[in-house]
Amino acid sequence: MNRTILIVICDFLLVSCCVLHGGHQQDDEDRGTPPQVRVDMATNQADSGRDLAAVMKLAWRTNKSAGDLLLSELEKSRASVSEREKTIAGLRATAANHRTTANQPATTVCRGPDQHRNLSRQVRASSTDATMSKEKLAAMEAELRKRAEEAARFNNGSRTSRRATRWF
């Protein structure tokens, strides 16, 4: 746009100079000498087609790099979610194992107060581990739901941005 305006202004000034100089031309014709006018006009007019193509290529590259970045972030999020799902499955298996262990009756006969204390400590430790595993499981499930919602929002956002870039 700036080049176009500059060219229009230069053309206006050139025409104005020619009109103002035109009054002196009559004096030259009256004297019998032909006027010598040499006009070398060099314009810096750029090819607008090339400029437009260059701008479109730049916009395309920018959008493509942004899309690639978003896709890589999506892949990282998916990998993180799959890792957490595996961890949750492992914790569920551990919790199920603790539940079955806690529900089974003791198969050995207590042979004294020391063994009874050891077994009661083991039962308390197992129940504490099971409780902690349940809490960790609940926290990880909440985090997994949050990540899934973020991934869904990200997918919805990337679809709309792809639609928008198609118009350009």
* pLDDT score for 48: 67
The answer to whether residue 90 is domain-embedded is yes
Q: Residues, the chain, total? A: 168
* pLDDT score for 167: 47
Residue 120, classed as helix, strand or coil, is helix
* pTM, to two decimals: 0.32
Instruction: List pLDDT tens digits, range 13-44.
Output: 888 887 777 655 555 555 666 666 666 655 56
The answer to whether residue 84 is domain-embedded is yes
The answer to whether residue 8 is domain-embedded is no
What confidence category does residue 168 fall into, taking pLDDT thresholds of 50, 70 and 90?
very low
The answer to whether residue 13 is domain-embedded is no
Percent of the chain with pLDDT over 90: 1
* Dihedral angle computed from the Cα positions of residues 111, 113, 117 and 122, in that order, rounded to the nearest 10 degrees: 0
Mean pLDDT of the chain: 77
Percent of the chain with pLDDT over 70: 71
The answer to whether residue 15 is domain-embedded is no
The residue range of the domain holding 52 is: 48-166
Is residue 74 within 8 A of residue 157, CB to CB? The reply is no
Instruction: List pLDDT tens digits, range 40-91.
Output: 655 565 566 777 888 888 888 988 888 888 888 889 988 988 899 999 988 8
The answer to whether residue 146 is domain-embedded is yes
Q: Identify which of 21-30, 38-47, 101-110, 136-145 has the greatest average pLDDT.
A: 136-145
Give the number of domains in the chain. 1
The answer to whether residue 94 is domain-embedded is yes
The answer to whether residue 143 is domain-embedded is yes
Averaged over 114-130, what is the pLDDT? 82
- Let me know the angle formed at the C-alpha of 73 by 69 and 76, rounded to the nearest 5 degrees: 140
135, 128, 121, 127: which is closest to 91 by C-alpha? Answer: 135
